[in-house]
Structure 1
Amino acid sequence: MAKKTGNGRSGMNNMMKVLIVDDDEALAGLIKKMIKKIGINRVKTAVNGEEGYEIFLQFKPDIILTDIQMPAKNGLEMVRDVRKHDPWIKTIYMSGNMHRFRACLEEEKTKYKASLLDKPFSFSKLTGLFHEYQEERK
């Protein structure tokens, strides 16, 4: 459910929880700022899939935004583990090499309605995905 922000623009539900998993800590921090700009304040970050999974277990996010290629545990492996607890969690996969992963992400897209986000991406592309998710929840 969207709420009105003080500046008159429609904001996202501030109760929504988002987990960002990316080994590029600077990028994860930038994405976190972008997400907070649209009115989502409950955001956590992790630097790899292992840490992301541990945070997931405690934080119980509504959306996971994850890089695919990371050390320790990649994004796909982490999401497979997450789906054992929450099969239908909304997932947005990010990669600068998305063309290499499109085939292995087909099941994620068709069965789980996962989204794919090519790096670099714009603020409007990211916010569009969050607004789509918000509409699905209505």
Structure 2
Amino acid sequence: MTENPFARAVSAALLGVALSAPPLPARADIQDYAFELTQQEMKQGEAIVAVRLVDKRSGKPVPDAVIFAKRLDMAPDDMETMTTRIEQLPSTEPGVYRFKTKLTMAGNWRLSLGAKVQGEIGTVEDKLVFQAVK
């Protein structure tokens, strides 16, 4: 049986391409992401609440997430029906998401967020508690 030198060259070339191709990036699990408050305490009244979305594996901020669910209430003080409006503001730095609100009472407030991370399947959901002070 005769071997075709062209077939051998093509096989070697394909093997070389396969071995030199960069590996596909490892996909993160949606549980690898979390929101963190930038401040644990804010003044009662008009306030800007800022959170950072981080990749827990690297500690790096995650920019360009799409926040589609947000709620601010006083559930930590057993007043879940005490809510206030919350409006998303433009980001001032990558991975930091800001919200304008009015903290109508001093006490503990819960910020609930839902977001999609670019390139990941699933939803990042977090509930963060901070305190409003007089």
TM-score, length basis structure 1: 0.21
Q: Of the two, which has the highest radius of gyration? A: 2
More helix by share: 1
TM-score, length basis structure 2: 0.22
More strand by share: 2
